[in-house]
Structure 1
Amino acid sequence: MRTNKSLFTLFFLLVSIVAFTQNQTAKVAGVVLDENNKPVAGVNVSYQTKSATTDKNGFYQISVPANQKVVLVFTHIALKNITATLQLKPGENFEFHVVMSDKAEQLNDVVITNNRKQVQGITTLSPETVRRNTSAMPGVESVLKTFAGVNANNELSSGYNVRGGNYDENLVYVNEIEVYRPFLIRSGQQEGLSFTNTDMVQNIDFSAGGFQAKYGDKLSSVLDITYRKPTKYGLTAEASFLGGSLTGEGISKNKKWSAITGIRYRDNSLLVNSQETQTNFRPTFIDVQTNVNFSPNKRWQFSFLGNASQNKYNYQPLTRQTNFGTIDEPIALQVFYEGQENDKYQTLFGAFKTTFSANENNTYKLITSIYHTQEQEYYDILAAYYLGEVDTNIGSETLGEVKYNQGIGSQLNHARNDLDALIVNAEIKGTHQINNKKHQIDWGFKYTRENFRDRIVEWEVIDSAGFSINPPQFHVPNNQPSSSYVGPLVPYQNVRATNFVDINRLSGYAQWSTKTKLGENQLWITAGSRFHSWKVSADGVAGGKMQTVISPRLQLTLKPDWEKDMLFRFAVGLYHQPPFYRELRDEDGVVNPNVKAQQSVHYVLSNDYNFKMNNRPFKLVTEAYYKSMTDVNTYTLENVRIRYRANNDATAYAYGLDMRLNGEFVPGTESWLSFGYMKTEENQNNRGYIARPTDQRLKFGILFQDYMPNIPNMKLYLNLVYNTGLPGGSPSYADAYDYQNRLRDYRRADVGFSYVLTERNNERPDGHWLKKFQDLSVGFEIFNLFNNQNAITNTWVRDVYTKNQYGIPNYMTTRVFNVKLTAKL
């Protein structure tokens, strides 16, 4: 009994220390640089009567009161003042780096509450880094693809896979509003534009797993983007061989109204024409986005986010030749096409958001949105193909050409696919600070109604030397041409279905967050849970049943009281992905209304190590993770089109290690190196574990920024990715257990050079024409710098005489040059 009392007393004392031992001050530290990214010594950093001075390395440190707004003033005899407003938690160590100039005085009226994103395991990207990144498909996604754990083998797609998940397992928010991808798109070159307009972005947060309960119901990742609220009038324009964009922003005289609007146009002809298939092709993509804000007073804020986009994809292939095989036995596939493809994707999206701050501690939000998409996919394409031996005689006049054919066949593809979808959301959310902001409670409820009207009519017929090829799953003996075939003639694939589907969903979450102390160590705790209930109704199909899932989640972060700046995080949670429309539709296009939610248990252990090298800040982030998945909805993946089996017939797992070192390798610029190892396998109907379609074992990524010391106006941006090969895809509807080949490794480097004409504007006299511009630069880009041949899928060709099947790689884009002009007023 005495032992139990002692343990109880010890536990009570520990809880008391954790709950009540709080340091009522915080520390702010950082480096002050000038416009040339050199340290500035002698800068006075002051708050009321307290002050500090930067040393020869530009470093400063100052203690400030916690839980209240603090105005820091940075002053220097030769530079303009900077004023920053901060609000920090007790005991917090906050890094705040400053760039001072001799231009007009700078005011930073953003209230920084604490460094919570780092604590939550969220990676924050600089919008400027995203805008300047060189990529064939520019945008946030192109930068994410350089992260460990984020993979993509298609430079024409904005889709990405995270830690073994597929494109459909990623959450994307803009201003806390969920956004959607088109449904019918099956090729990356049809996508055109990412939803996010990078010229409108203020903040970008990304989590690759173990995320909090306040985020929605997906299995893999969260991308949370915030558009900026303008504080002045401005205009940004960009033009290149691939298209252009124009973004305008402004604010009313009374500061209550502000708006930012962007229009983008893209033409992928330059990229697509670099592929092996010769075409008459001009894909065009255009969208318009606007974000309007209204603040009648300090308590109320209203905003509207609108988007309208149209993708037109008119495709007429002509010829193609792909060389493959070995040095001893080189083979070529020649294809001659007839017919064309006409696809169109039109989307309209609108969302209203209302924020009410009842007081300093209580905030409520009401969010409503409507998403409407109309998509059509029409094509009739006849492809006559020839397999032949390539002439490798260097002295021959026909070097590289086919000497004679050893296999002849044809392929006819037909589709008349139409989809019309309407998705309506209504959500209410609340945030409450209690006990002098030591605790935070977040909650929310969301209702969603989804309506889909879908018609699928597509088939494919393949013959070899005049003999019809049956699909792999059609088990009727066919020994042509040795003996006559007496079985039925069937298309290689045939999908016909009409679906009218309604889905009603109700979801919600509640979570609690706090920051406390464990001895001398800082401890953050976030615990919460989600629920999601849904019911699917489909015409002509037996009614679906109501299903409900609950997803508890926990995140712990510990910052030890060590001399080294380290942070340890552990996250565990149960994650569900209730089926979206595409996940309900099986390989034959038929809807199964009772598909279960896929389930995954996440375990994530990570470490952040902040350090200085050559007096410049660096951070090493290491994350180990394991995911155990049940009720897995297996699928086939062809380019970017996913087709589910809609039967929850598998279990799966994924585990790996992600590492990223980022910092100022070059003073004043942010770059990073990343490495990832991942393995993911699935077990269908207890047949044994095989690689999932996204099983990409090794990943290396580099995003590097530099400038020439002797020509500081000249900037360099390098984007380099290496991924080991994915499982190579099987013939359509084949048994995945029979085909476990892998594609070749994906290697790509994109580099951009930008000459900034406004680099030394402060040295120019007033009235100079360049003074009108905040930024004016001319860029030159090289996509696929080393001209690597990367394959996205295989085309499978069968020779009826030899009974051989050839997997001919479908190569992506080759080396392409682009010129770009950017201007900002």
Structure 2
Amino acid sequence: MVAGVIKDQNGNPIENVSVLAGPEGTTSDKNGNYVLKIPAKKEISIVFSHISFINYSKTLTVPEGRTIRFSPRLKLKTEELTEVDVKNRNKDAQGIISIDAAKVKKIPGANAGVENVLMTLPGVNNNNELSTQYNVRGGNFDENLVYVNGIEVYRPFLVRSGQQEGLSFVNSDMTQNVNFSAGGFQAKYGDRLSSVLDITYRTPSEFGAAVNLSLLGGSATVEGKILNNKLSALVGVRYRDNSLFVNSKDVETNYKPKFADVQTFLSYQINERLKIDFLGNFSKNEYNYTPISRRTKFGTLAEPLELIVYYNGQEQDDYTTAFGALKGTYLVNDKLQLSLTTSTYNTQEAEHYDILASYNLGEVDSNLGSENFGEVSFSKGIGSQLNHARNNLDALISNVQLKGTYISNGNNFQFGAKYQIEDIRDRLIEWEVIDSAGFSIRPPNHTLNNQPYEPYEGKIIPYQNIRAYNDVQIKRISGFAQWSKKEEWGTNEVWYNLGIRAQNWNVSGATISGNSTQSTISPRGQFAIKPDWKNDMLFRFSTGFYHQPPFYKELRDSIGEVQKDVKAQKSIHFVLGNDYSFDLWNRPFKLISEVYYKHLTDVNPYTINNVRIRYEAKNNAVAYATGIDLRLNGEFVPGTESWISMGFMTTKENIDDKGYIPRPTDQRFKFAMLFQDYVPTIPDLKAYLNLVFNTGLPGGSPSYADPYQYQNKLNSYKRADIGISYVFVDQNKQFNSGLLSNFRELTFGVEIFNMFDVQNSITNTWVRDVYSKQSYGIPNYMTGRVFNVKLGMLF
């Protein structure tokens, strides 16, 4: 028997390589692995072939009872393709976008990494550069699936703002493959409404180390193989500090963040059929925040206003998460592969703050000839606001999952079953007292008082007061089965996929009366055809029912109480897509177009404050999302890949039959450009431009207010990040002596984030004028222009 890993000249694994030895044959998997049975004690010629690579042959003789490991490296047929990804038509047929992991680390952004590149894709939006969360085609942050090596990963629950988030789970220094679907995905993926991000960490083949340093933090990665090359190990450590960004905002603060994590991926090849993988992560995010003052100008030219705030108090948050997953993969025979995965995720979160804000809301003198031009000339509201929270959450999520793949006569069957237990213990204590000109503001539902004309002698009641203690257990059983096939229709190529998912869940707990059990069934299907035309085009259509059984956050209503009978939100997807590959300027380009419509029922309305989502837990709305996404990628500059994305979308909801209004994620138009270039006379000097324009989101509404009365929009989001780097050492530029001979790669770069210093806002702070009883939405501006330097080293 012969086994090994097939790679290209850059060390990247190659999928779907044909391996033939006379009548015996096989193909490599997505990680480049192959296993081929050949007769013992006989000289056999093995041929490795792929449409994009030069054929390679090797003559071997295998001793009796032995397995020889042979891992060839194939050369591309055309040198001009070295900077272009080898496209997988199977992924195109599935509507999956593949992103080169090597490019992910080079693209500038406030949160550089996989999610930063996703923001440049059509249909993917986020107006908060300090957050790695994103919404897709009208969905919210909680509607996206994220997998690492086939294992679902989670985010902390209590994070309220992007600057508290710290680090994404996905470590881009450890990433090999990045696949993303914005809708209409297959049944093998889980029960969410919007998207799938499928990450694969690489399996090292030799020793290597990488170190990246910048003013925002640093990372280190070590990899290699030990124990007779049977155990491969990949370990990454990261640290991040967002002080540069926070100090660029209009709020003066003392800010001490500490975001750090360590991850490891181990893979042990017991024999040619059995492999054991371990994925582990531990992260510690401490967020200490002491606001001092804030000055924000807003309003119109006719009525300019300014909010001046002075603060007392502080916020101390701690998010500690641990994750471990063990996966065994067994190749039963050439047709059947099984895997068993067990994982546990624990998060312990604390959100504690006491902040007193004394504010002055005033009219600004706009008379150009005035000595006090630009200063506050009249106070419309003077008051104070005291916010208090003692929120603690401890969540333990454990599961075990069996998956299988059976391939026979061109038919690909995949199936799986999963059992999961979620144990959540949550204390939610929040209250807010508002005092305006000496008079405490009563809650909106409080009996009307006539201050200041008549004294009110009752007790001071908080404007908001949430107190909840929840001890909840959720047990889930889910499973899927799907069939895929590729075949010929005459001279045309076609792909089919049909599948079904099902889930049953039970909600119970010490703080819940009784329990609730519900079930869902989700059929899904895909069809794609590549006509035998002169033009290289592929058409695809996806549809299906997508259910999102409620996670803990969706069970908890706006006052913190758990509603056990909350139903799964439901959506029907219709996605029609086209891929058109062509040559322009003698270089390869590709235009991807998708039209989609999503109809949603049993919708759980929610509000967003920065990145915190709070649900009504009532299933009292219906909604829809529809739009078109366009993406053109190719070699705009020879030897580099860039792309332009555009999206048009509208999403609306109807709450309690009051009529359709925009959903909190209703962002009508998006334009994004990811552009790479270099100086022709100095090819080692490279530039990367990341440009995003989004039309404004709905501005939200004050607490307890009717959203139908607050339908204002925030301003458009405009941002441009640029990075310039010089390559001292890379695979094409090696040194045999001197200091640079110690490096496999060495780069130094400068980055400018928000280089046009645009004031973007993500949410509104609502301040009330006690005289007119009017609430003003004061925009919370995001980061200004920030400079960063970074150094990358690979040994």
TM-score, normalized by the shorter chain, greater than 0.5 = yes
For residues 466-513 of structure 1, the C-alpha deviation after alignment (integer angstroms, 9 at most, x for no partner) is: 1222334x1533443344457764322111000000010000000000
Residue equivalent to 2:485: 514
Query: Shift in Å at residue 114 of structure 1?
Result: 5.8
Q: Is the 8 A contact 2:628 2:649 kept in 1?
A: yes
- Counterpart mapping for 1:661-672 below 5 A: 661-672=632-643
- Counterpart mapping for 1:481-630 below 5 A: 481-485=452-456, 489-630=460-601
Match of 2:105 among 117, 131, 135: 131
Match of 1:797 among 767, 770, 777: 767
1:771 match: secondary structure: helix
For residues 674-715 of structure 1, the C-alpha deviation after alignment (integer angstroms, 9 at most, x for no partner) is: 000111111111111111111111011111111111111111
Q: Is the 8 A contact 1:193 1:266 kept in 2?
A: yes
Match of 2:90 among 105, 116, 121: 116
Q: Distance in 2 between matches of 1:113 and 1:678?
A: 28
Q: Distance in 2 between matches of 1:335 and 1:505?
A: 47
Query: Shift in Å at residue 155 of structure 1?
Result: 0.3
Match of 2:350 among 357, 360, 376: 376
For residues 424-467 of structure 1, the C-alpha deviation after alignment (integer angstroms, 9 at most, x for no partner) is: 010000000112xx101000000000000100000111121112
What is the identity, as a one-letter code, of the residue corresponding to 1:428? Answer: L
Match of 1:419 among 373, 385, 393: 393
Query: Shift in Å at residue 328 of structure 1?
Result: 3.2
Q: Is the 8 A contact 1:481 1:800 kept in 2?
A: no
- Counterpart mapping for 1:681-696 below 5 A: 681-696=652-667
1:470 aligns with 2:470: no
1:117 match: secondary structure: helix
Residue equivalent to 2:706: 735
1:283 match: secondary structure: strand
Q: Distance in 2 between matches of 1:399 and 1:172?
A: 52
What is the identity, as a one-letter code, of the residue corresponding to 2:186? Answer: Q
For residues 313-343 of structure 1, the C-alpha deviation after alignment (integer angstroms, 9 at most, x for no partner) is: 0000000000112223321100000000000
Q: Distance in 2 between matches of 1:129 and 1:559?
A: 29
Match of 1:148 among 122, 141, 148: 122
Q: Is the 8 A contact 2:475 2:506 kept in 1?
A: yes
Query: Shift in Å at residue 397 of structure 1?
Result: 7.0
Q: Alpha carbons of 1:370 and 1:466: their partners in 2 closer, same or farther (altered >3 Å)?
A: same
Q: Is the 8 A contact 2:80 2:639 kept in 1?
A: no
For residues 568-608 of structure 1, the C-alpha deviation after alignment (integer angstroms, 9 at most, x for no partner) is: 00001000000000000001100011111000000000000
Residue equivalent to 1:442: 414
Q: Is the 8 A contact 1:74 1:83 kept in 2?
A: no
Q: Distance in 1 between matches of 2:527 and 2:224?
A: 42
Residue equivalent to 1:819: 789
Q: Alpha carbons of 1:486 and 1:724: their partners in 2 closer, same or farther (altered >3 Å)?
A: farther
Q: CA RMSD in A?
A: 2.5
Q: Is the 8 A contact 1:218 1:575 kept in 2?
A: yes
Q: Is the 8 A contact 1:634 1:650 kept in 2?
A: yes
Q: Alpha carbons of 1:85 and 1:824: their partners in 2 closer, same or farther (altered >3 Å)?
A: closer
For residues 403-434 of structure 1, the C-alpha deviation after alignment (integer angstroms, 9 at most, x for no partner) is: 44332011000000000000001000000011
1:190 match: secondary structure: helix
1:770 match: secondary structure: helix
Query: Shift in Å at residue 540 of structure 1?
Result: 3.0
* TM-score, normalised by the number of residues in structure 2: 0.89
Deviates more, 1:394-403 or 1:349-358: 394-403
What is the identity, as a one-letter code, of the residue corresponding to 2:547? Answer: H
2:614 match: secondary structure: strand
Query: Shift in Å at residue 735 of structure 1?
Result: 1.2
Q: Distance in 1 between matches of 2:603 and 2:369?
A: 56
Residue equivalent to 1:456: 428
1:141 match: secondary structure: helix
Match of 1:775 among 720, 735, 745: 745
What is the identity, as a one-letter code, of the residue corresponding to 1:182? Answer: P
Residue equivalent to 1:330: 304
Query: Shift in Å at residue 168 of structure 1?
Result: 0.3
2:768 match: secondary structure: strand
* TM-score, normalised by the number of residues in structure 1: 0.86
Q: Distance in 2 between matches of 1:235 and 1:471?
A: 58
Unaligned 5+ runs, structure 2: 1-7, 11-18, 23-45, 57-70
Deviates more, 1:804-813 or 1:559-568: 804-813
Residue equivalent to 1:73: 54
Query: Shift in Å at residue 401 of structure 1?
Result: 3.5
Q: Alpha carbons of 1:696 and 1:735: their partners in 2 closer, same or farther (altered >3 Å)?
A: same
- Counterpart mapping for 1:312-351 below 5 A: 312-351=286-325
Q: Distance in 2 between matches of 1:490 and 1:526?
A: 59
Q: Distance in 1 between matches of 2:763 and 2:458?
A: 31
Q: Alpha carbons of 1:113 and 1:209: their partners in 2 closer, same or farther (altered >3 Å)?
A: closer
Q: Is the 8 A contact 1:480 1:800 kept in 2?
A: no
Unaligned 5+ runs, structure 1: 1-31, 35-45, 50-66, 76-81, 87-94, 102-109
Q: Distance in 1 between matches of 2:343 and 2:9?
A: 43
Q: Distance in 2 between matches of 1:200 and 1:135?
A: 19
Q: Is the 8 A contact 1:538 1:593 kept in 2?
A: no
What is the identity, as a one-letter code, of the residue corresponding to 2:784? Answer: T
For residues 693-748 of structure 1, the C-alpha deviation after alignment (integer angstroms, 9 at most, x for no partner) is: 11111011111111111111111111111111111010012111111111111111
Query: Shift in Å at residue 162 of structure 1?
Result: 0.3
Q: Distance in 2 between matches of 1:590 and 1:579?
A: 14
Q: Alpha carbons of 1:415 and 1:805: their partners in 2 closer, same or farther (altered >3 Å)?
A: same
Q: Alpha carbons of 1:96 and 1:785: their partners in 2 closer, same or farther (altered >3 Å)?
A: farther
Q: Distance in 2 between matches of 1:518 and 1:486?
A: 83
